[in-house]
Structure formats: C-alpha cells, structure tokens
Amino acid sequence: MNIILLGPPGAGKGTQAKVLEESHGLKQLSTGDMLRAAVAAGSDMGLKAKAIMDRGDLVSDEVILAVVAERMDQPDVKKGVVFDGFPRTPAQAEALDSMLAKRGQKLDAVIEMKVEDEELVKRISGRFTCAKCGTGYHDSFARPKVDGVCDVCGGTEFIRRADDNEKTVRDRLKVYNEQTAPLVSYYAKRGNLHSVDGMADIKMVTASIGRILDGIEG
Ligand code: AP5
Ligand code: MG
Ligand code: ZN
C-alpha cells in the first residue's frame, strides 16, 4: 500500500507517518528528513539545500525527484510507502505517478490533513525530535512520558529544526498555499483523495487515518 500524507507544515505528517510504520508496516519517505540528513552529512546537495530550507522555499523538483527515485529502488520500500512532504508541486505529483507505474505499483490513498494556520504556528514553535530515533515531540501537546527521555528509544538528546521559527513557518505556509495546495484538486479528480480533521488530538487523527486505510484494504 502506498499513501501520501498531504498537508501544510506542522499538520502532523511526520507524527502520523511514524505511527503508520508501526501499525501498517509501511516505510516513511520524508523528503524533508532526507534533505536534513544531507545537510548534516555536509554533502554538496545538502549545502545548497540548507539555504533554501532555511528561508522556507522549495528545493528544486530535479533534486527532489532524484533523491526519491533512488530511495524507491531500495528493497525495504517494496511493501509500501507513506510519503511525507512529497509530492509538493504538480510536477512532483506527475513524476510520482510515473515512478510508481514503472515499478508496477500504484497510489492507494492521498490523505489531506487540514489544520488552521495559527495552530500550525503554535505546533511548529514547540516542536522537538529525538536525535537518535526521530520521534517527534511538542513542548505542550506531546511531551515525553519522562522529561528528557525519549519514550521510544530511551535517547536523551533532542534537536530543534533551523526552520522552526515563526517567520520561516509563515513563509513555508505561503509556499504551501501557492505551490502545494493545488495537489488537493489534482488528487480529488483521481478519486483517491480523503481528508481528516488534523485539528483533533494526535490519537484521534491516527484513528481517522486508520478508518480510511481499513476502507481501502477491505
Ligand atoms: P518538511 O520536513 O517536509 O517540513 P514541512 O512540510 O514544513 O512539515 P513539517 O515537518 O514542519 O510538519 P509535519 O506535518 O511533519 O508535522 P509534525 O508531525 O512534525 O520540509 C522542510 C523543508 O524541506 C521545506 O520547507 C523545503 O525547503 C524542503 N523540502 C522537503 N520536501 C520537499 C519537496 N518534496 N520539494 C521541495 N522541497 C522540499 O508535527 C508538528 C508538531 O505538532 C510536533 O511537535 C507534533 O508533536 C505536534 N503535533 C502533531 N500532530 C498534532 C496534533 N494532532 N495535535 C497537537 N499537536 C500535534
Ligand atoms: Mg515533518
Ligand atoms: Zn528516540
């Protein structure tokens, strides 16, 4: 099963993708995480991407598509992928269609996560992530059970993203509305678009996504 979580910055794509890895045996494919790994590794591509990401713009379709195509050729994604933060432009959506077709696969569902702008800014401002396993947390909405210790892996180091400040979040939202929101109608026309109320709490959103996927599998 291949699904896309489509939604603005802070909608909860990464949070729910991690849950789906456990509950549905899918692999999370987060282009944002892949780019941040390239930045951390100090590769040429990473250095170029960092400046773009720090101002909240999109990295070029060409770079993103090369990275995704390479990932899609690895054996661990064969059972199914949850795309998180990809596709983000109509050109990326079209390229994903042909990438899947070429591999004899299809897109089973696109799940749009709807969240109001002010809530997104609040969520992103309080976000932090386990440095070891990538589990996401939030200062007010999703604290680790024991302060300073990751629930999942016991790690004690956490990171905050360079683009998680109010100014960049607002720029990222603008970019989302201009370049990514058109994908909602692109997928609606295909008939595989579903929507969830991303304003609900994390477990409720997980349950809504689960019901959509049950409908598809059944
Ligand atoms: P990317 O990493 O994809 O960031 P994004 O789309 O801006 O989304 P976020 O990761 O900020 O939000 P999320 O939806 O994952 O929310 P999360 O689950 O963490 O992209 C970063 C940059 O890379 C881009 O700006 C661009 O430059 C570049 N890039 C990436 N992909 C690209 C592409 N395809 N093309 C071109 N450029 C690309 O949740 C947020 C917080 O809220 C967390 O703290 C969480 O605990 C909390 N939370 C989650 N759900 C809830 C809930 N229901 N209630 C309360 N709190 C919640
Ligand atoms: Mg994310
Ligand atoms: Zn961890």
- 127 assigned to active site: yes
Distance (Å) from CA 164 to ligand 1 centroid: 9
Residue 55 to residues 45, 162, 167, 215, Cα–Cα distance (Å): 16, 10, 9, 39
- 172 assigned to active site: yes
Atom 34 of ligand 1, residue of closest alpha carbon: 86
| Residues 12-23: tens digit of each pLDDT | 999 999 999 999
DSSP summary character for residue 142:
B
Q: Model pTM? A: 0.94
- 123 assigned to active site: no
C-beta of 31 in contact with ligand 1 (< 6 A): yes
* 137, containing H or E segment: strand 136-138
pLDDT at position 166? 87
pLDDT at position 128? 95
Is the predicted pLDDT of residue 51 greater than 90, yes or no?
yes
| 203: confidence class by pLDDT, cuts 50, 70, 90 | very high
Distance (Å) from CA 215 to ligand 2 centroid: 25
